[in-house]
Amino acid sequence: MSSRIISVEPFDMVVFGATGDLAARKLMPALFRRDVAGQIPAEARIIGVSRRPTDDAAYLDWVKGSLRQHVPAEELTDENLARFMARLA
């Protein structure tokens, strides 16, 4: 059985608890991998919501650290990382 990619319309995804453990270990790495696989439309945005106060730069650094811990290094190219980070709001 071969897999196929079903295209979807552009969307905005809201991640509640965006600075939590689940987001760090599972959600952000999974979304990153879908982005690398071309399964997220170019216009899609990922919006992180959290009770923990943080600014945009600190949040982006936190996501990068999470990805470096939970995604294989060969997938973390500068191009892939830059494209994914541009989606985050």
- What pLDDT is attached to residue 4? 75
86 pLDDT higher than 70: yes
**Structural domain range at position 39:** 12-87
Q: How far apart are CA 22 and CA 24, in angstroms?
A: 5
The Cα-based distances of 9 to 5, 13, 18, 63 in angstroms read 13, 12, 23, 25
Q: Please state the domain count of the chain.
A: 1
- What pLDDT is attached to residue 5? 72
Q: Is residue 79 part of a domain?
A: yes
- What pLDDT is attached to residue 52? 87
- What pLDDT is attached to residue 2? 63
- Average pLDDT of every residue of the chain: 92
CATH number for the domain that contains residue 48: 3.40.50.720
- Per-residue model confidence as pLDDT tens digits over 34-72: 999 999 999 999 999 999 888 999 999 999 999 999 999
Q: Is residue 5 part of a domain?
A: no
The Cα-based distances of 73 to 36, 38, 56, 77, 81 in angstroms read 13, 18, 24, 8, 11
Task: Judge if pTM exceeds 0.75.
Answer: yes
- What pLDDT is attached to residue 66? 96
Q: Is residue 1 part of a domain?
A: no
1 pLDDT higher than 60: no
